[in-house]
Amino acid sequence: MDIEDAPLIYGLELQARCLCPQAAETNYTRFLVATQSLRQENQVHLITFDDENNQLEKTIFPHTSGEVWHISSSCNDVSLFSTCFNHIAGGDIRSGCKLWRLPADQCNETVTDSLNQPNSISEIGELKSDEVRSVSHVLWKPIEDDSQVMSLGSGQMHLWDIMKAEPRLIRVFKLPEKKGHPCPVTNGKWNPHHGAKQFAVATNQHIIGWDVRGDAEAFRIENAHGQLVRDLDFNPNKQYYLVSCGDDCLVKFWDVREPTAPVSVISDEHSHWVWSARFNPFHDQLVLSCGSDSRVVLFNKASLSSEPFGHLMDEDEDDLGSEKEPPKDGLIEIYEEHEDSVYAVEWSSADPWSFASLSYDGRVVINKVPKKVKFDILL
Amino acid sequence: MTTPKTEMDVVGNNSRQSHKNMLKMYYATDLPQDQSNFNPLDIDSPTFQADRYLKKLKQEKSLAELMEAENDMAKQIRTLDSDMQTLVYENYNKFISATDTIRTMKRDFREMEKEMVKLTSNMAAITHLNSQISSTMQGNRQQINKLVGVHSVLKKLQFLFELPSRLKKCLATKSYAAGVSYYLRTKTVLQHYQHMESFSGIEQDCSKIVAEIITELKKTFYDKDSSAQQLADCVGLLLRLGEPADLLCEDYLEHAKHKLDEDLQELESYLKVDKATVDKSANASSDGGLYIDVLEFIDRGSNGFLSNLSLTITAYENLFIKQIEITAISSAMVGQMTPLFISEEVSKVASMKLAKFVEDLLQVYFTLVENRLVLEKRSRDNALVVRALDRFYRRLQATSNILADSDIMVHGEGIIVRMIKARCEHYRFALKDFFTDCLTDIRHTISAPNTVSGKSSPASLNLLDLVNSTASALLNQVKSVLADVQLFTVRDINFASLPYFRKEFPCEDVREGIIVHFVHYISETLRSFCDVSSAARLVASPPTVLLLLSKLCRDFEQSTIAYLLTLTDEQFLISSKDRTTDITSLTAEIGETAQKLLEGYVQSSGVSVSRMIRTSIEARDWLKCVEPRQVRAVMRRVVEEITQTDQQVGSLYEEGTRKARSSDSSKRTQTYQTSVSRQRERGHWGVYAPSSNMDNSLLSNIQKLFSERVDVFGPVEFSRTSVLTGVIKISLKTLLECVRMKTFGKFGLQQLQVDCQYLQLYLWRFVSDENIVHTIIDEVISSCLHRCIEPAAMEPSVIDVICERG
């Protein structure tokens, strides 16, 4: 393997299951990872991948509120992020969700060796309301200069405004129940198209899209997977298309206008539950998935891509171009650096070719798209 | 010593030579032959030269020899002389007798001359008399001639005058043939002398009567009951009377058509009834009197329509095509002006008319037959259909033999081939239906005891019997279809000799169309059961069905398919180069299906166990558990379920290979104890020394490096242990993932320890490699320790006690 293609591995000291890219950052390949430990102080790691030197720079912040189950970052402000956490108090599990701000100098260009001068993240607010019993996920609205977040928890969706210091609950959406019990919600996602008027959640075996302006379902994919749907992601460049994955080891592609059958299914690569699937934000034919079979899989789904084949070709290159085969769908690579279940995989928000994956044993792996694939897409 | 040569000798020699030559010429002896024997030294040769001979003798021989030669020569000369003398004497006698004979002849001739003179004078007298007589008779003879002529004219005239009455008499006695011949004989005369009044009168009378005759004839002609012979006579007469042949043909055919149309209508009425009956076969008995089966239909068609048609064709040919020729010949003989080519033209027209006529009618008939046959497309009684087709074909062949150059056989063959193709298609569908029925039966059989008597009986249901009975039912069905289809090619079936049956039928329609297609269908249908992308599959087919079907496919792969194809190839004599789809690809396809079904079975049983485990973990508050007293009931059910799965699989599949395993359970407990103690140790370390966490994860990573990677939803082999290993892996992995999502209190951890120990106690025996169970269970425990706020593990001895009690 080319040395530049070699993965970078970073070991956390504690178990971890949540990872997110620093969504507003466009210059650096940065990821946030939060640990999950019941008995030790948890941490939030800010990892910066230095592409030129092929090195990782990391900053560790203590997270004192409890074990982190979900982390996500603002799409507008580089320094803002949120964590959803549990902590034990008096023999009971308490869950909470807080908004944090990174220390200012961490967002600047000069990343100093922060281990020497321990910084800390500052809490700027907590999503808390009498109507909200628990928050398991927080999703920042992917619209510029917008200050709304959606939280998920105990069978409900909550829309918050975080403009002011104290987050304000705007609206509560009640998710469908099954036999009187709230269905487990595994994840949710804003639809980035049309000014993010839709929000989709994965609950049980279904995917339900809501129109957040009113209290109405926009679409519903019944029985999207044979078992639990674990995750979903909207194609950032091609409206109506989304990817979902679940406990039936499948990754499915959907057109939400046609919810009866998937557009395409990837069935052979995972041998256990698929926990996460992500479109590359720049070249959406690249799709990542990871699962509890300790694998990270990179697919090429050119047939569903927003980039039609050959639209970049100049007319002078016709001779060369005609020899080129149209790209085919297929597996690009299986990454097997993990030895435990991989619960999260994320593309970098700055570099279209880098991505990070996190396994339960706390191992973060930064990988790159193979050069050949990269050149095939670019040229 | 030498014979002195005298002048005489030379002369004599010369004259002798010339005589000899003359004789030679007379006897035409071959000169060239002599020349070839030219040897002047040979004493017998004609070219003998005495001088040279002598010279040679003198040169070559000694004196004694010469003396001897001389003696010899003299002796020879003497014998020759005596010979000559006897010859002369004999010939002399002959010569004398010849002279005598000539002398007597001379005497006789003189007498003869006298007689001859007498004869000449007599002859002259006769001639004279003769001329005298003839001159006297001259006058009378001319008169007699004239009188004879007058007599014949008068006779003819009398005939003419009598003609009308004669014709009338003929009309009355119905001897039309005589009348017509009378009329025809006189027709020209009458026409010739038309200008004379009396003749024209007669002619008119005659024409009137002949017209009557014609009408009479036509009446016979159109009469339905007139026999063929009568008709033939009629037509012959009419033709001779100069009726236009094509009109007659048309009339005749028109006439025949009525009759045939009736036959066709009858058939059509049957067809309607049959259609109605087939459509609602339930109440067939209500009007069963009218219903006739296909064989009878064909029978009636052949007996009624086809035989009538054949009769018509034969009659027509006799009447027209042959009659026209006869008439033409006869009229040509009489000298009437019907040139032969015109009659040929007419008969050509006549045949064309016939051909068209037959074609039209057959078209209708074929449509009827085909419509009737379509009704038989789904018939159960193939033998009947075959017989009907065969009869149809035979009758058609008979008909086509009568009609020389027509393409009715092509149509007929077309109908038969179409019908057979339709039957093959029917069988294809019938097989599919049968297979679908089989599937439904299987489902019923499997689900029935479940609903009736709950959990205990499905295990007692003998799956192997069900597989075998289903397989043999399918096999028998295919065999019976093959047997049915084979009826088409039985030797005594006439149409089996069509070229279609040589290659296309056995290869395309039977082998590919029925057998191979069926196998593909089975494979496709079953694959759709375990198609991962169809969301409803788990609902659609219970796992036991998948297991059973996988065994079925496995059997098919191992023997049935090959057997079926070989059987087909043998029965239909398909040569190996015509076998489009070969056996191996088919068996491979079915084998893959079996594999997929088995994997589907593993998945769905795994998932159903997983579901139990997941609910049991998720629904419980592990933080506030009470101290464990027993194994949770869910775990017992899990073990029960897996045991049941094991029984099901065991009834169908072989045991499979196992890794060498420790047979005594104490050792397992031992390993477990050590792992627990190790974990407990680790847990304490975790509590008191956070810095050691790196080592901790390192430890578990190292542990993982040495344990094999577990592919949870991996490929499965066709064996009991492999299947069970698959199910157990899926279940335990679910347990692991669920545990990681929860938070445990002290007693929660202990309860889970108890549960895991219980599972380990009962599950190890099912799997091929018990380390898999150990590895995953260890991981579950270690994950649980991580998720525990107060990691205080239970004493292994206590766990053992609880498990044994449970």
Q: Where are the domains of chain A?
A: 3-378
Given an 8 Å threshold on Cβ–Cβ distance, is B536 in contact with A223?
yes
CA A128/CA A167 separation, integer angstroms? 8
Contact partners, residue A293, CB within 8 Å, separation at least 6: A270, A271, A272, A273, A341, B711, B712
Task: List chain A residues with CB under 8 Å of B788.
Answer: 38
Among A339, A342, A358, A364, the strongest candidate for a mutation testing the B interface, having the largest count of B CBs within 10 A, is A339
Given an 8 Å threshold on Cβ–Cβ distance, is B789 in contact with A273?
no
Superfamily of domain A3-378: YVTN repeat-like/Quinoprotein amine dehydrogenase (2.130.10.10)
Alpha-helix runs per DSSP H in B2-62: 7-27, 31-36, 50-60
Tokens of B370: 């085909």
Task: List chain B residues with CB under 8 Å of A262.
Answer: 533
Nearest CA in chain A to B624: A91
Asked if pLDDT for residue B59 goes beyond 60, the answer is yes
Given an 8 Å threshold on Cβ–Cβ distance, is A38 in contact with B733?
no
Given an 8 Å threshold on Cβ–Cβ distance, is A226 in contact with B535?
yes
Average pLDDT over residues B4-15: 52
Domain with CATH 1.20.1050 in chain B: 248-406
Nearest CA in chain B to A292: B737
- % residues pLDDT > 90 (chain B): 4
Contact partners, residue A76, CB within 8 Å, separation at least 6: A24, A140, A144, A145, A146, A147
CA B708/CA B479 separation, integer angstroms? 49
Given an 8 Å threshold on Cβ–Cβ distance, is B532 in contact with A248?
yes
CA of B415 vs chain A CAs: smallest distance (Å): 45
Task: List chain A residues with CB under 8 Å of B624.
Answer: 91
**Helix and strand numbers, DSSP H then E, in chain B:** 28, 0
CA of B639 vs chain A CAs: smallest distance (Å): 22
Q: Are B385 and B423 in contact (CB under 8 A)?
A: yes
- φ/ψ of B537, rounded to 5, equals -65, -35
Task: List chain B residues with CB under 8 Å of A91.
Answer: 623-624, 745
Among B684, B783, B786, the strongest candidate for a mutation testing the A interface, having the largest count of A CBs within 10 A, is B786
- % residues pLDDT > 70 (chain B): 77
Asked if pLDDT for residue B332 goes beyond 70, the answer is no
A183 touches chain B (CB under 8 A): no
CA B259/CA B281 separation, integer angstroms? 32
Nearest CA in chain A to B537: A226
Tokens of B255: 């006439």
Among 1.20.140, 1.10.1200, 1.20.1050, 1.25.40, name the CATH number for the domain at B248-406.
1.20.1050
Given an 8 Å threshold on Cβ–Cβ distance, is A93 in contact with B623?
yes
CA of B440 vs chain A CAs: smallest distance (Å): 24
**DSSP symbols for B66-116:** HHHHHHHHHHHHHHHHHHHHHHHHHHHHHHHHHHHHHHHHHHHHHHHHHHH
Type of residue at B711 = D
Given an 8 Å threshold on Cβ–Cβ distance, is A361 in contact with B700?
yes
Q: What angle do helix axes B796-805 and B665-688 make, rounded to 10 degrees?
A: 130
Among B532, B624, B712, beta carbon nearest to A91: B624
Task: List chain A residues with CB under 8 Å of B604.
Answer: none
Among A18, A39, A230, the strongest candidate for a mutation testing the B interface, having the largest count of B CBs within 10 A, is A39
Burial class (CB in 10 A: 0-12, 13-18, 19+), B141: exposed
Local structure of residue B250 (DSSP, 8 states): H
Among B532, B538, B687, beta carbon nearest to A39: B687
User: Which pLDDT value is given to residue B451?
Assistant: 44
Considering B419-433, B482-496, B570-584, the range whose residues carry the highest mean pLDDT is B419-433
CA A137/CA A130 separation, integer angstroms? 18
> Tell me, what's the ipTM?
0.86
Nearest CA in chain B to A253: B533
- In this prediction, residue B459 has a pLDDT band, given cuts at 50, 70 and 90, of very low
- Taking only the tens place, the pLDDT of each residue in B254-307 is 777 777 787 778 777 777 776 666 655 444 444 444 566 777 777 777 777 777
Given an 8 Å threshold on Cβ–Cβ distance, is A292 in contact with B700?
no
Task: List chain B residues with CB under 8 Å of A95.
Answer: none
The strand pair at A198-203 and A206-211 is best described as antiparallel
Contact partners, residue A241, CB within 8 Å, separation at least 6: A234, A235, A253, A254, A255, A256, A263, A304
Average pLDDT over residues B629-657: 83
Task: List chain B residues with CB under 8 Å of A294.
Answer: 709
A263 touches chain B (CB under 8 A): no
Distances in Å between the alpha carbon of B106 and those of B95, B97, B98, B113, B444? 17, 15, 13, 11, 142
Task: List chain B residues with CB under 8 Å of A266.
Answer: none
Among B711, B712, B740, beta carbon nearest to A360: B740
Buried/exposed A304-313: b ≥16 CB within 10 Å, e otherwise: bbebeeeeee
Among B687, B743, B788, beta carbon nearest to A93: B743
Distances in Å between the alpha carbon of B758 and those of A70, A71, B634, B689, B751? 34, 37, 11, 32, 11
CA neighbor of B656 nearest in space, from B714, B706, B725? B725
CA neighbor of B594 nearest in space, from B561, B563, B548, B560? B548
Worst-scoring range by mean pLDDT, B89-93, B583-587, B629-633, B701-705?
Answer: B701-705
Alpha-helix runs per DSSP H in B174-227: 176-192, 197-222
Nearest CA in chain A to B784: A38
- Taking only the tens place, the pLDDT of each residue in B227-265 is 666 776 777 777 777 666 667 777 777 777 777 787 778
Chains A & B: contacts with CB separation below 8 Å: 80
Given an 8 Å threshold on Cβ–Cβ distance, is B740 in contact with A248?
no
Among A15, A38, A227, beta carbon nearest to B789: A38
Among A37, A38, A227, the strongest candidate for a mutation testing the B interface, having the largest count of B CBs within 10 A, is A38
CA B755/CA B638 separation, integer angstroms? 11
Asked if pLDDT for residue B668 goes beyond 50, the answer is no
Greater confidence, B573 or B588? Answer: B588
Type of residue at B294 = V
Q: Are A174 and A154 in contact (CB under 8 A)?
A: no
The strand pair at A216-221 and A229-234 is best described as unpaired
CA of B708 vs chain A CAs: smallest distance (Å): 11
Considering A311-325, B43-57, B447-461, the range whose residues carry the highest mean pLDDT is B43-57
In the numeric block, the tokens 């009962």 are attached to: B762
Please give, one letter per residue, the 3-state secondary structure of chain A.
CCHHHCCEEEECCCCEEEEEECCCCCCCEEEEEEECCCCCCEEEEEEEEECCCCEEEEEEEEECCCEEEEEEECCCCCCEEEEEEEEEECCEEEEEEEEEECCHHHHCCCCCCCCCCCCCCEEEEECCCCCCCCCCEEEECCCCCCCEEEEEECCEEEEEECCCCCCEEEEEEECCEECCEECCEEEEEECCCCCCCEEEEEECCEEEEEECCCCEEEEEECCCCCCCEEEEEECCCCCCEEEEEECCCCEEEEECCCCCCCCEEECCCCCCCEEEEEECCCCCCEEEEEECCCCEEEEECHHHCCCCCCCCCCCCCHHHHHHCCCCCCEEEEEECCCCCCEEEEEECCCCCCEEEEEECCCEEEEEECCHHHHHHHHC
- φ/ψ of B254, rounded to 5, equals -55, -45
Name the A residues in 280-319 with CB < 8 Å from any B CB.
292-294
Given an 8 Å threshold on Cβ–Cβ distance, is A37 in contact with B533?
no
Given an 8 Å threshold on Cβ–Cβ distance, is B694 in contact with A13?
yes
Given an 8 Å threshold on Cβ–Cβ distance, is A361 in contact with B693?
no
Mean pLDDT, 10 residues at a time, chain A of 379 residues: 71 88 85 87 87 83 87 87 85 84 64 53 81 84 82 84 80 79 83 85 88 84 86 89 88 88 84 89 89 88 74 47 61 86 90 89 89 82
Given an 8 Å threshold on Cβ–Cβ distance, is A92 in contact with B623?
yes
Q: What angle do helix axes B176-192 and B197-222 make, rounded to 10 degrees?
A: 150
Greater confidence, B403 or B661? Answer: B403
Distances in Å between the alpha carbon of A326 and those of A308, A309, A374, B68, B534? 10, 6, 15, 130, 29
Greater confidence, A264 or B180? Answer: A264
Given an 8 Å threshold on Cβ–Cβ distance, is B737 in contact with A341?
yes
Task: List chain B residues with CB under 8 Å of A344.
Answer: none
- In this prediction, residue B329 has a pLDDT band, given cuts at 50, 70 and 90, of low
Task: List chain A residues with CB under 8 Å of B618.
Answer: 184
In the numeric block, the tokens 């477990």 are attached to: B672
- Helix, strand, coil abundance in chain B, percent, nearest 5: 80, 0, 20
Task: List chain A residues with CB under 8 Å of B538.
Answer: 226
CA neighbor of B346 nearest in space, from B246, B436, B462? B246
Greater confidence, B409 or A192? Answer: A192
Element (H, E) at B362: helix B340-375
Average pLDDT over residues B673-690: 38
User: Which pLDDT value is given to residue B1?
Assistant: 44
Among B611, B703, B712, B716, the strongest candidate for a mutation testing the A interface, having the largest count of A CBs within 10 A, is B712
User: Which pLDDT value is given to residue B71?
Assistant: 92
CA of A308 vs chain B CAs: smallest distance (Å): 27
User: Which pLDDT value is given to residue B448?
Assistant: 67
CA A1/CA A368 separation, integer angstroms? 12
Three-point CA angle A130, A131, A136, nearest 5°: 105
User: Which pLDDT value is given to residue A153?
Assistant: 82
